Amino acid sequence: MPVSASYRPVPRWLELGPGFQDAVEPARFPERGLRFRNQRWAERVGLGTLDDEEWERHFALFEPLPDNLREPLALRYHGHQFRTYNPALGDGRGFLFAQLLDPLDGRLLDLGTKGSGRTPWSRDGDGRLTLKGGVREILATEMLEALGVYTSKTFSLFETGEQLHRGDEPSPTRSSVLVRLSHSHVRFGSYQRLAVLGETEKLRRLFDATVEWHFPELAAERGGDAAGGTVERFLRAVSERSAELCASWMAAGFVHGVLNTDNMNVTGESFDYGPYRFLPTFDLAFTAAYFDHGGLYAYGRQPQSVLWNLQRLAEALGELAPLEVLLRALADFGPDFHARWRECTLGRLGLVPHGDERDAELMSLLRAFLEESRVGYDQLFFDWYGGAASAARAAASPEAEKYAAPAFAPLRAALEAYEPDPAAVERLASPYFQGRRPCTLLIDEIEHIWAAIAERNDWSPLERKIADIRDMGALLASDSRRAAVTRNAPSRPGTAG
């Protein structure tokens, strides 16, 4: 059997009717060399039984999966890019390939592509993805998943044998096609497009479908809602999910880099990783994208950017409900974000929150020390995991001298006032916490991994890094907010599983 019994196809997108997508043909690549296969997620969604030939047919040649979409769909959307509205967007180098249900939680899943060829929305682009871009996306999704961030999953990567020319890296460079698994392709820009075009009937249709597919708790409230109450509750739910996502980015020290409205979706899932970075040290002005000259999407401005994007979504939904009501639905974004940032940070420290002003005080002390000392961002969370339970470990840390300085005393006292999570204390006995440094994903590490591939076609550094990330994630996964993380599945050379 090409698929297992847990494979549950549900091609829902075409229920929207015409006007939301364009049927397209995938590119035909001269070569198809499998470089990454996410076996653990393939098994979860019933595709783990595909053999190598079947995997290539579906995820490089894009033959339809059984009982699924019969042809790929390039989705239509607009969006603000660096706060300038662009009506010429849409899936320009990707498409929706299949939809299925997650057999564990029943949520609708999408399999989408990146680098799969030109579409009506490609403009002057070639519709391709560099191999380096594919490798970077694998690393981003693996690290974020391990740190408990709600993220898309890199599902498959094939090298495609073409030579691409890009202005931002040495050219020609190798090419790839990527498949990602996500819970939604309904972007903020999907609503913006319909609002700008004045297609209110389609806007309502998209809203109803989004609620049915992704917000079942609101589905019963759709009918007869002349005052827009369901729309308001929907926006409130999107705001809550977006606040949680942004808080998890901040706790992870992650900078998305390109927080345009077309790069945010209504389910609050992180996706589409271009010029991202992880913080080397705490720096609110740290910017990921070399072209973000004004620092619009800097680390410390991510909450502001997410709220601004939510306001644009509210304006688009203003075709369905009074705008002043919708903007009020966003009033709690700030408190939601800060509460979740505190919670995520304490979770990363392995500490039980007090649930009062002491948590905010700890955050203030932590930020002040990190800014002044320039201790490695990941290093501090590693050294003081479990609070006082790690005092001896911290004394042997590469940063021990800074922890012995008077500037650290107020933060140390605050950390020692917290009770460690019992699970955190158990984890401290693991080999991971017996080491001196945490698993990180800084830009120099990414460049080292890519250099091995580019210069020697050596994929072993990538495979080792994925294994290290997954081991860390399996150790730290502890509650329902974290993505399901399992131990490494067996992998084959060049196909880190």
208 is catalytic: no
Point out the catalytic residue in the list 91, 102, 110, 262: 262
Give the list of residues 6+ apart from residue 55 with CB closer than 8 angstroms, or none.
34, 37, 156
Distance between CA 315 and CA 186 in Å, rounded? Answer: 16
3-state secondary structure the chain: CCCCCCCCECCCHHHHCCCCEEECCCCCCCCCEEEEECHHHHHHCCCCCCCHHHHHHHHCCCCCCCCCCCCCEEECCCEEECCEEECCCCCCCCCEEEEEECCCCCCEEEEEEECCCCCCCCCCCCCCEEHHHHHHHHHHHHHHHHCCCCECEEEEEEEEEEEECCCCCCCCEEEEEEEEEECCCCEHHHHHHHHHCCCHHHHHHHHHHHHHHHCHHHHCCCCCCCCCHHHHHHHHHHHHHHHHHHHHHHHHCEECCCCCHHHCECCCCECCCCCCEECCECCCCCCCCCCCCCCCCCHHHHHHHHHHHHHHHHHHHCCCCCHHHHHHCCCCHHHHHHHHHHHHHHHHCCECCCCCHHHHHHHHHHHHHHHHHCCEHHHHHHHCCCHHHHHHHHHCCCCHHHHCCHHHHHHHHHHHCCCECHHHHHHCCCHHHHCCCCCCCCHHHHHHHHHHHHHHCCCHHHHHHHHHHHHHHHHHCCCCCCCCCCCCCCCECCEEC
Q: Which positions are catalytic? A: 262
